[in-house]
Every structure is written in C-alpha cells, then in structure tokens.
Structure 1
Amino acid sequence: METLELIAQKYSDYAWGLPLLILLIGGGIYLLILSRFLPFRFIGHAVNVLRGKYDNPDDPGEISHFQALSTALASTIGMGNIAGVAVAINIGGPGAMFWMWISAIIGMSTKFFTCTLAVMYRGKDSVGNIQGGPMYFIMEGLGKSWKPLAVFFSVCALIGALPVFNVNQLKQAINDILLVPNGIEVSFMSNLCIGLVLVAITAVVILGGLNRISKTAEKLVPSMVIIYFVAVVFILFAYRSEVPKYLMLMITDAFDANYFKKEEFLGGVLGGLILLGIRRGAFSNEAGIGTAPMAHGASKTSEPVREGLVAMLGPAIDTLFVCTLTALAILVTGVWQSSDANGVSLTAMAFNDAIPGIGKYVLLLCIATFSISSLFTYSYYGTKCMSFLFGDHNKHYYNYFYIASILLGATTSLSLMLNLIDGTFALMAIPTMTATLILAPKVVKEAKAYFIRMKNH
C-alpha cells in the first residue's frame, strides 16, 4: 500500500511539473497577447450576457448562460477554495495568494478561449444530441485524425471526475467540526454513514440528468457564495486593523518568499512559491483543464463568443474573490502561524477563533454546500465522457460507478486516490490546451466578427 501511495505521489508531482506549467501559464499568456487582452475589455458586456439580456429561447443548447456558469462554478468553487488556499498558505505563506491571483488573471483568458471553442465546435453524440467539450472541439475543429487526443482526454476525465477528494475532505470536516468535539467516536461505521447520506442526496440529483443538475446548481451556488462572503466579512470586520497589513504582505511576500517551506524550484525559494501558487490556482479555478467547457458547451446560444465571455467570469469569482476571502480569514486571525493544522482544519480554526461557538458550524454549512454541489457537476462531466467513448446508451453506467466511489471516498484515507486524481487532472490539460492553442486564431477571428455585429446591431 505504501509503495502504491509513493508511486501515486511521484505521478502527481511529475504530472504537475514544469512542462504542464509552461503549457497552462505560457499558453494562457500567449492567448492573452493574441486576443490583445480582449476578455478584460468586455467584462461589462459579459455581465449583461449573464443577466440574460441576449437570451433567445430558440437558440440551440440545453441550459441558460447563468445555469452554465453556475454549473461550472459548482465544480470549481469547492474544496480548492477552502482547503486548497489553506494548504497554499501553510506551505508558502501570504505570498502564495499573489501567484494564485496571477494564475486566475491568465486563467480568465484561457477560459474565454476554451469555452468559446466548446460552442463553436459542438458535435453530436451517438443519438444525435448536440454536445460540447474538449473531446468534441478536438474532433470537430482539428478533424477526425485527432481522435486519439479526444479519447485520451475522455479517459482521463472519467478518473479525474470521480468525487473522492471532495467526499474525503467533507468527511474530514464533519469529523473535526461535528463528531469529535461532541464526543462521538469516529469509526469506519460513522464514515460509512456519512458516505451513505451523500450517496442518497447525490443519486436523487444526478439520476435526473443535466436539467436537474443545472437547476440545483443555479439555486445553490449564489446562496453559498453569499453565506460564505457574509461570514468572512464578519471576520474581517472583527480584525479590521489587520486587513491592510496582510493585503500588503500578500504582495511583498510574493517576491520575498520569507515563509516558504518546501523544496526549491528553478533554483530558489521564489520559484517554489510561484509554482505552488500557480498549481493551487489552477486546481482551484480549473482554467485550461477542460471541465468547464463541458458545462458551457451545453448552454443555449448561437453566439460562441458570448459563452466565452460568461465563462471568463468564472476564475474571477472563484480565485480573485472566494480564494482571497479564505486567505484573509486565515491570515488576519493568525492561525496560520499559531497552528500546525492544514487544509479544511486550518480554515475551521480561523472561523472558530473569530466567531466563537458558531463560526465552525457556518463553515461546515458552506463546505457541505460547496462539496455537495461539486458532486452533482462532476457526475455530469463523467457521463459526458462516457457517452463520447461508449455511446449515449451506456452513459448511465458511469453514475453507478460514480456513486460507489463516494463510499470509497468516505471510508478510506485517500492520499493514493487523491494523487491519482490530482495527476489525472493535470493530464486532462494536455489535450485541452494543445487543441485550444492550435484553434486560437479562429476564436480571435470569430470574436472580431461578433463585436462588429454587436456594433451594427
């Protein structure tokens, strides 16, 4: 077992090595320059599209712009924002957050391109339904000879979409916040009970298909972000004298790397800190990985550029907004220096210090909503890849496999599975980014034509 865990650890570190970072970050910077910072010039227009100003019920697709963004955000706003930020600060100190911001800004351009392509090159599944996502834009945009790349993406996504990380961290949070302090013994049986409850909730939603998933996400996502926001604002208000100091420290420490305590990278601690921030940022907002294009590819629109603009708001909400809130809560309360806790437990300590008594329960509520909404979306991603590989009539088998893996996630200590999934996530970025970089000039051409049409409209 230990050997397996070591192999998985090596696989994950290798997959997230320098080549992938060059592909994600270098590729993202290339897309930003190629589009002449287009995504940032039209943020106002993106918000109007999101508000439904241009909705047309007769457009092809299954769900509205808002539902598509909510579905994509349901998967990205999750443990990466609560546990991932805590991990980044625990290892890298306040400066890690700055590099997460950089990864988000670059990620916005990546999301714009990948999700515009998801609508530009929609394909048909085995029963003739219109579908979007990296496997379809590889086939439709690059041609049939690129099919192995599309298959590689789909196979990786079948594993990458399994919910073991979310379930594992949710179980951890329930144990730390609810069971242990109230004297309930944590055992295999108690973990199994948590798993069975999650299975029941998930099964009801995911067996109802995309419409039920997107309607649930549309209600859950905005409310959970608001609850989390209110709780963190309360913490920041209680420690308001500390906030300016830590905002400055995030920027200055990004170049000093005074608190970094892991192996160096590219010859120094600063390289290590940049790698950490960018890796955590990519894990949090999933730009370039290829999951979001599957949700955005299903949106009701005949204008691909509109969907790209809506998708681009994802990393801004996810990393610039939610991750920054978490980071400030951990920093101003001081728990990052006074405690050895990591992941969810560190964030829980910050909430408990600032709002004694109920703080950790508010966090548990947010974590539960974040995690459970991620469970719904990932199953959709998995069934979509299953349908691409084995035909639409077989896609429901994935749901049973998926539901079974929830029990696995709740009952085992999953460093092995986590590293497998973390590494597989990295591999999904290779076909997604390769196809996006090749097809990028077509997106720029489409965007120019779109804005000329909008001017004349």
Structure 2
Amino acid sequence: MDIEKILVDLSNWIWDLPLLILLVGGGIYLLLYSRFLPFKHFWHAIAVLRGKYDSKASVGQISAFRALSTALSSTLGMGNISGVAIAIGMGGPGALFWMWISALIGMATKYYTCSLAIMYRGKDDSGVVQGGPMYVIMQGLGKKWKPLAVFFSITGLFGSLPIFTANQLTQVLNDVLLPGLGYEASTKSSLLIGIAISVMVSIVIFGGIQRIANYASKLVPLMVLLYFLSVFYILAMNHTNIIPAFEQVFTDALTGNAVLGGSLGAIIIIGVRRAAFSNEAGIGTAPMAHGASKNTEPVREGLVAMLGPFIDTIVVCTLTAIAILVTKSWETPDIGGVTVTLNAFTTTMPDYGAILLVFIVFIFALTSLFTYSYYGTKCIAFLLGTRHKKTYNYMYVASITLGSISTMSGIVGLIDISFALMAIPTMLSALILSPKVNRATLIYFKKVYLKSSTI
C-alpha cells in the first residue's frame, strides 16, 4: 500500500468544490457582511497594533503585538519560502493571483474568527484563560456543539505537526550546508539533522507560550526585514523581468497554464490551498494564538489579526513568487519546494545567496516549529487536560525527526487534509456567530468615533 499516494489522493479529494465554497464563499460572505471592514479600517488596525489603544486590564497571557507575532511565526516561514514555490510548481505563475484573492478575502475571515476568540474565551482545567475555535464553539454555540469542538481539536493535533517545516529545513540544509562541509546528503544526514533540530526546538517549546512569544516577537520582525532586503536585491538585479513576471501571473490566472496543463479551476484550487497553508485564514490556528492575547476588546484583536494575511500573503509571498519568476528558477527541471527559492537566490547571488537563504530559512523554520507546538498543546489540553501537554510535546519533537526523513508530497498531503478538516468547524462557528461580531463592531466604532470627536 502506497501511503504517500493515498494521502495525496485524499488531499485532492477533500480540497474540491465544497471546501472551496466553505472557505472562499464563506470568506466572501463575511467580507460583504462586514461591509468591507478590513479595507475601511486598515489604518486603525495599524494603530491598534502599535499599542495606541492598549489597556492595563488583562486576562490573557501575551500582548496583541506578541499574539500577532506568534501567529505570524507559524505562517511566515516555509509557507512563504517553500509553499509559494510549490504553488507555482503545481499551478504555474497564475496560482499567485488566486493566493492574493484568497488572502484579501481571508482578512475578513481572520477578523471574525479572531474577534470571536476573544469574545468567547474559556478556561482550561488549570483555570487559565484560553481561546480558539474549540472554546468559541463551546462558549458561543453551547455544549450541544461539543462534538464539533472535539473534531477541531483532533484534526488540530495533526495540523499542528511540524513535519512539513522539518522536511523543508532538512532539504535546504542538505542542499547547501553539507556540500559546503564536504559531505553528501543521505537518509543518515537527514536523520541527524532532524535530531539536532528536535533538540533545539525542545529547549524553547517546553517553556510555554510566554517563551515562544518572546522569541517570536524578536525574531520574526528581524527575519522579515532581512528577507525583504534580500528579495529586493534579487528584484533590483532582475528589474527588467518584473513587469513580464506580473503579466505572466495575470495571464495564467485567467487562462490556465498551458505548460503545466492546468485548467483554470485547478489553478484556483491550488492558489487557495497554498494561501490557506501560508496565512491560515479560516483554518483556526491563529485564533488560538490571538485568544491568548491580553487584549480584552474582541474587535481590536480582530483588527490586529486581519493584518496577518496581508503581511503574510500579499507582501511576503508576493516577494518570493516574483523573485522565483524573474530568475526563472521555477523552470529548472527536477527541483521542487524550497530548492526552487534557493535557486533564485544562488542565481542572483552566487557567492553568498545560498548561505543567506539558509540562515533566513533556519530562523523562520524554528519560529514556526515553536508556534505549532503551542497549537498542538492547546488541542490536547482541551481534549485530555493540561497534564498531557508535555506528552504531546514529546510526540511533537519526535515527529520533527520523522518529517526530516519523509517525502515532501506525502507530508504536504497530510497537512492539507488536516487543514481542510480544521476549516470546517472554524468556518461554521464563525458564520453562525458573525452577527455577534457585527454587533460588537458597531458598538466599538461608535465609542472610537465618539472619543475622537470629543478630543
């Protein structure tokens, strides 16, 4: 029995029209229902993120900025560097356009799901205030909906596994680090790399959300800046190809990519899948991070959260994709995943591009690995109690090594399946409870405008 083929086939079956309707159709509904709130109040969201409206009243564990950094630390990483390359490899340049559309819609989805994460917080068996789709379902919809909350938590255990990030980090280290040291990549080298990564991650994740958020809030902004500067250099060196690259994105998005033999419908699905993997809008992981925020105002937390898909997909993923397209690295045969992005760096910066990307990937990957462990422990605590958190973390660390020696296609299939199943309870609860968010939004902005008019 070919487990890899089963996972890929099941993933393709799940990510079909019904899920597309739930994620994209549900997101469009929320965007219209909010009267395009993410775009109307974008700058207010920036002000909230900067701490202009912070209050000393706090029941959560981390600040709104750290909540966003924690959420972004799981999405800014392999989803942006490797996931984009996979999207272009599967669906051509046109897949990027549908990632954009999905992200813009996802801003509204994030607003609702993360506002609800504050509005309907619960407590774990240790009495600590927690948030996330499982608590939203229990507190907002009632105990009769508990099977849906349990379903989310079970699928979340698998969706939070670090196997994709570990696999791609191992791949880039095998491609760059080992040859530079005079060694050849092998299963043994992948195993040793996996064990080394497991040890480093263990040091942080057993410290809990405060330690994870502390690392994420420091490392994520720094790595984003370094990555921006690197990609801007690639674009500057290949500036004559930028406009043709964008033209190719728009052309392929509306016609399908003849080279890859993809239909328009297939490209749309690929774009939505990879955008979901990149920014996680509608999946339910980000509400778990934002639910731990000290912010007591649901609308403010939702506004901060909605910036995630914009930063992640519209900005960072676009930079990666255009770098891949202007260097034509995606056309190189027999390479895939993070190696495509690596090829773009080495083509433009042959002397130091590889080492630079390895450093960036390494930090991005570590912050992703830190955060996903937190999501998994929240799911296991909801299902079995907080005493089982460490047990899950032991399994989590072991799966890093497993991911390092597994095939990419099988891993992508497993994560896609998990994310698809997680989206069902997350989106259903958001759609049902959306009137509650709209009511809170109306009250919140009345207060904001009243306060500003009296100053």
Quick check: TM above 0.5?
yes
Aligned partners of 1:21, 1:66: CA distance in 2, in Å? 31
State how 1:335-354 maps to structure 2 within 5 Å.
Answer: 335-354=329-348
State how 1:178-257 maps to structure 2 within 5 Å.
Answer: 178-180=177-179, 182-257=181-256
Letter in 2 for 1:227: L
Distance 1:337 1:9, change over 3 A: closer
What is the SS of the residue equivalent to 2:294?
coil
Residue number in structure 2 paired with 1:75: 74
Residue number in structure 2 paired with 1:388: 382
Letter in 2 for 1:402: Y
Any conservation in 1 of the 2:273–2:416 contact (CA below 8 Å)?
no
Residue number in structure 1 paired with 2:38: 39
Residue number in structure 2 paired with 1:266: none
Structure 1 residue 432, shift from structure 2 partner = 0.4
What is the SS of the residue equivalent to 1:408?
helix
Structure 1 residue 418, shift from structure 2 partner = 3.7
Query: Which residue, 403, 406, 410 being the options, matches 2:397?
Result: 403
Letter in 1 for 2:101: I
State how 1:89-128 maps to structure 2 within 5 Å.
Answer: 89-128=88-127
What is the SS of the residue equivalent to 1:341?
coil
Is structure 2 residue 355 aligned with structure 1 residue 356?
no
Any conservation in 2 of the 1:118–1:294 contact (CA below 8 Å)?
yes
Residue number in structure 1 paired with 2:318: 324
Residue number in structure 2 paired with 1:55: 54
Aligned partners of 1:305, 1:21: CA distance in 2, in Å? 27
What do residues 115-147 of structure 1 show as CA deviations (whole Å, max 9, x unaligned)? 000000001111221110000000000000000
Q: CA RMSD in A?
A: 1.4
Residue number in structure 2 paired with 1:416: 410
What do residues 320-342 of structure 1 show as CA deviations (whole Å, max 9, x unaligned)? 00110011111111222344422
Distance 1:415 1:274, change over 3 A: closer
Residue number in structure 2 paired with 1:140: 139
Is structure 2 residue 295 aligned with structure 1 residue 295?
no
Any conservation in 2 of the 1:108–1:315 contact (CA below 8 Å)?
yes
In structure 2, runs of 5+ residues without a counterpart are none
Q: TM-score, normalised by structure 1?
A: 0.96
Any conservation in 2 of the 1:206–1:376 contact (CA below 8 Å)?
yes
Distance 1:90 1:187, change over 3 A: closer
What do residues 283-325 of structure 1 show as CA deviations (whole Å, max 9, x unaligned)? 1111000000000001011110000000000000000001100
Residue number in structure 2 paired with 1:377: 371
Is structure 2 residue 435 aligned with structure 1 residue 441?
yes
Aligned partners of 1:109, 1:432: CA distance in 2, in Å? 14
Distance 1:319 1:260, change over 3 A: farther
Aligned partners of 2:267, 2:416: CA distance in 1, in Å? 19
Greater alpha carbon shift after TM alignment, 241-250 vs 340-349: 241-250
Is structure 2 residue 166 aligned with structure 1 residue 172?
no
Distance 1:271 1:55, change over 3 A: same
Aligned partners of 2:191, 2:12: CA distance in 1, in Å? 30
What do residues 254-304 of structure 1 show as CA deviations (whole Å, max 9, x unaligned)? 2122445255xxxxx111221211211111111000000000001011110
Any conservation in 1 of the 2:169–2:361 contact (CA below 8 Å)?
yes
Residue number in structure 1 paired with 2:278: 284
Q: TM-score, normalised by structure 2?
A: 0.96
Residue number in structure 1 paired with 2:160: 161
Letter in 2 for 1:354: T
What do residues 189-214 of structure 1 show as CA deviations (whole Å, max 9, x unaligned)? 32222112211211111111100000
Aligned partners of 2:200, 2:258: CA distance in 1, in Å? 41
What is the SS of the residue equivalent to 1:56?
coil
Is structure 2 residue 446 aligned with structure 1 residue 452?
yes
Is structure 2 residue 273 aligned with structure 1 residue 274?
no
Letter in 2 for 1:280: R
Greater alpha carbon shift after TM alignment, 284-293 vs 392-401: 392-401
Distance 1:338 1:210, change over 3 A: closer
What do residues 80-133 of structure 1 show as CA deviations (whole Å, max 9, x unaligned)? 111111122223222211111000000100000000000000011112211100
Aligned partners of 2:327, 2:348: CA distance in 1, in Å? 7
Any conservation in 1 of the 2:57–2:296 contact (CA below 8 Å)?
no
What do residues 211-255 of structure 1 show as CA deviations (whole Å, max 9, x unaligned)? 000000001100111111000000111111221222233223321
Query: Which residue, 422, 425, 435 being the options, matches 1:428?
Result: 422
Aligned partners of 1:259, 1:7: CA distance in 2, in Å? 27
Aligned partners of 1:324, 1:260: CA distance in 2, in Å? 21
Any conservation in 2 of the 1:91–1:262 contact (CA below 8 Å)?
no
Any conservation in 2 of the 1:92–1:259 contact (CA below 8 Å)?
no
Letter in 2 for 1:168: N
What is the SS of the residue equivalent to 2:82?
helix
Structure 1 residue 184, shift from structure 2 partner = 0.4
State how 1:3-22 maps to structure 2 within 5 Å.
Answer: 4-22=3-21
Is structure 2 residue 304 aligned with structure 1 residue 305?
no
Aligned partners of 1:322, 1:70: CA distance in 2, in Å? 14
In structure 1, runs of 5+ residues without a counterpart are 264-268
What do residues 135-188 of structure 1 show as CA deviations (whole Å, max 9, x unaligned)? 000000000000000000000001111101100111011011221355302233
What is the SS of the residue equivalent to 1:159?
helix
Aligned partners of 2:62, 2:147: CA distance in 1, in Å? 29
Aligned partners of 2:322, 2:51: CA distance in 1, in Å? 33
Number of residue-to-residue matches in the alignment: 451
Aligned partners of 1:67, 1:336: CA distance in 2, in Å? 35
Distance 1:285 1:256, change over 3 A: same
Distance 1:428 1:102, change over 3 A: same
Residue number in structure 1 paired with 2:25: 26
Aligned partners of 1:71, 1:421: CA distance in 2, in Å? 20
Distance 1:166 1:150, change over 3 A: same
Any conservation in 2 of the 1:56–1:301 contact (CA below 8 Å)?
yes
What is the SS of the residue equivalent to 1:292?
helix
Any conservation in 2 of the 1:262–1:272 contact (CA below 8 Å)?
no
